[in-house]
Amino acid sequence: MDELDPVIHASARLRITATLATLVAGDRLAFPRLQQLLGMTPGNLSTHLRKLEDAGYVEVTKAHQGRSPVTYLSLSSRGRGAFENYTENLKKLLGGTS
Amino acid sequence: MTNDNRPTGLADENEAALSPEEMLLLLQNQQNDVYRQQLSPLPWMLGVWGVAWLVGFLLLWSAAPEGNPWLQVAGPAAAIGFAVLMAASIALSTVFGIRIGRGVRGESSFAGAVYGISWPLCGSAFAILGVALIRNGMSPELASLYFPSAFSLMVGTLYLAGAALWHQKSQLVLGIILLVTGSVAPFFGAPTNNLVMALLGGGSLLIAAALFAVRLRRVV
């Protein structure tokens, strides 16, 4: 049995990863919108995003909207793969099949 | 990790891992919640168009002398009413469309922008073609067959494009219904074609809005 990825296996980071995984590959989500979809405080979200970024699962892009800077987030291909593996392992663990 | 019994702060709580069942449920609930939040304007969008089609085309049908036997509407009033309803629907659709895609950049924002601009571009092209046909001798009777159908064919085609872009079968079904409506309505002759547009086109849009609203509610 494969172990559950400790980077994703924490409720806040699972929710972040699951939300970013709904994006079409090649799309990025603005930080305020991600925060709204998760209902998390900016500080808490930043802390967990940093852990995901350190693991190479999340890519951070800075852009400008008019004069104000906006941070965009997306799953890296490594992060997407890790999320898919995590989901698969969870299901294996629960169903005991495949 | 933090599965001991000490009181947990917010950071610890978020760091905690639940049982595999709860984690899978958390994952599924979160993704469903994202879809529901992002797609929540869709039933409104379809509903607005449904009302605009139903009322708008009933107005046009009621303006013709041999149209609505129960209610007669003056021609200019019907035309203005129709135009206002369509313009309001386009404006509201743009607002809803922006709400659906807000905060997203990248691959799909280009597709979304092209799709958004397709509506006024295609609308203008069909309208200009109609004017050109009138200038080349198309009668008012034929024009009253052409314009509703051209509009329905345009909307149907754009729904098909939307279905391809966002992998939505409901838009595909709706697109096909509107193509059938637009191509079949002229066989009924004017002004009955407007009644067909109102009932078949408007009715389908309203049913789609209701179905979508129910489906979104069930997701969570």
Q: Summarize pLDDT for A19-40 with one digit per residue, the tens.
A: 999 998 889 999 999 999 999 9
Examine the domain organization and report whether B176 and B112 are in the same domain.
yes
pLDDT in tens, B104-133: 888 888 888 888 888 889 989 999 999 999
Examine the domain organization and report whether B87 and B15 are in the same domain.
no
pLDDT confidence of residue A3: 81
Instruction: Give the number of domains in chain B.
Output: 2
pLDDT confidence of residue B57: 96
pLDDT in tens, B10-37: 445 566 778 889 999 999 999 999 988 8
As a whole number of angstroms, the distance between CA A96 and CA B160 comes to 41
User: CB–CB of B18 and A47 under 8 A?
Assistant: no
pTM of the shown model: 0.80
As a whole number of angstroms, the distance between CA B183 and CA A36 comes to 44
pLDDT confidence of residue B120: 85
- Please report which confidence band the pLDDT of residue B8 belongs to, taking 50, 70 and 90 as the band edges: very low
pLDDT confidence of residue B6: 38
The interface predicted TM-score of the complex, written ipTM, equals 0.90
pLDDT confidence of residue B11: 46
B102 interfacial to chain A (CB closer than 8 Å): yes
- Please report which confidence band the pLDDT of residue B164 belongs to, taking 50, 70 and 90 as the band edges: very high
Examine the domain organization and report whether B32 and B47 are in the same domain.
no
Examine the domain organization and report whether B109 and B202 are in the same domain.
yes
Average pLDDT over residues B203-220: 88
Show me where the domains of chain A are located.
11-92
Q: Which residues pair with A69 in a beta bridge?
A: A64
pLDDT in tens, B41-73: 889 999 999 999 999 999 999 998 889 999 999
Range of the domain at B83: 42-219
Examine the domain organization and report whether B203 and B157 are in the same domain.
yes
- Residue A42's Cβ-count burial label (10 Å; 0-12, 13-18, 19+) is exposed
A interface residues, B as partner, C-beta within 8 Å: 4, 6, 9-15, 18-19, 21-30, 32-34, 36-38, 40, 44, 47-48, 63, 72, 74, 87, 90-91, 93-94
pLDDT confidence of residue B90: 84
The CATH number of the structural domain formed by A11-92 is 1.10.10.10
Examine the domain organization and report whether B106 and B179 are in the same domain.
yes
Examine the domain organization and report whether B34 and B121 are in the same domain.
no
As a whole number of angstroms, the distance between CA B153 and CA A5 comes to 51
Examine the domain organization and report whether B24 and B81 are in the same domain.
no
Q: Regarding beta strands A58-65 and A68-75, do their DSSP bridges make them parallel or antiparallel, or are they unpaired?
A: antiparallel
Task: Please give the backbone phi and psi of residue A20, each rounded to the nearest 5 degrees, phi first.
Answer: -65, -25
- Chain B residues in contact with A42 (beta carbon < 8 A): none
Q: What tokens appear for B197 in the block?
A: 């547009």
User: CB–CB of A10 and B107 under 8 A?
Assistant: no
| Closest of B23, B31, B32 to residue B218, by C-alpha | B32
Examine the domain organization and report whether B22 and B129 are in the same domain.
no
User: CB–CB of A10 and B11 under 8 A?
Assistant: no
Residue of B11, B24, B34 with shortest CB distance to A37? B34
User: CB–CB of B23 and A11 under 8 A?
Assistant: yes
3-class SS of residue B106: strand
3-class SS of residue B3: coil
Residue of B16, B102, B106 with shortest CB distance to A11? B16
Examine the domain organization and report whether B8 and B85 are in the same domain.
no
Find the residue in A nearest to B104 (Cα). A29
Query: Three-state SS across chain A?
Result: CCCCCCCCCCHHHHHHHHHHCCCCCCEEEEHHHHHHHHCCCHHHHHHHHHHHHHCCCEEEEEEEECCEEEEEEEECHHHHHHHHHHHHHHHHHHHCCC
Examine the domain organization and report whether B71 and B122 are in the same domain.
yes
Examine the domain organization and report whether B78 and B19 are in the same domain.
no
Q: What tokens appear for B42 in the block?
A: 């869709």
According to DSSP, residue B103 is labeled T
pLDDT at B150 over 70: yes
Whole-angstrom distance between the N-terminal and C-terminal Cα of chain A?
11
pLDDT confidence of residue A2: 65
| Closest of B58, B53, B61, B60 to residue B80, by C-alpha | B60
Cα distances (Å, whole numbers) of residue A28 to A71, B23, B109, B111, B112: 9, 25, 10, 14, 14
As a whole number of angstroms, the distance between CA B80 and CA B195 comes to 18
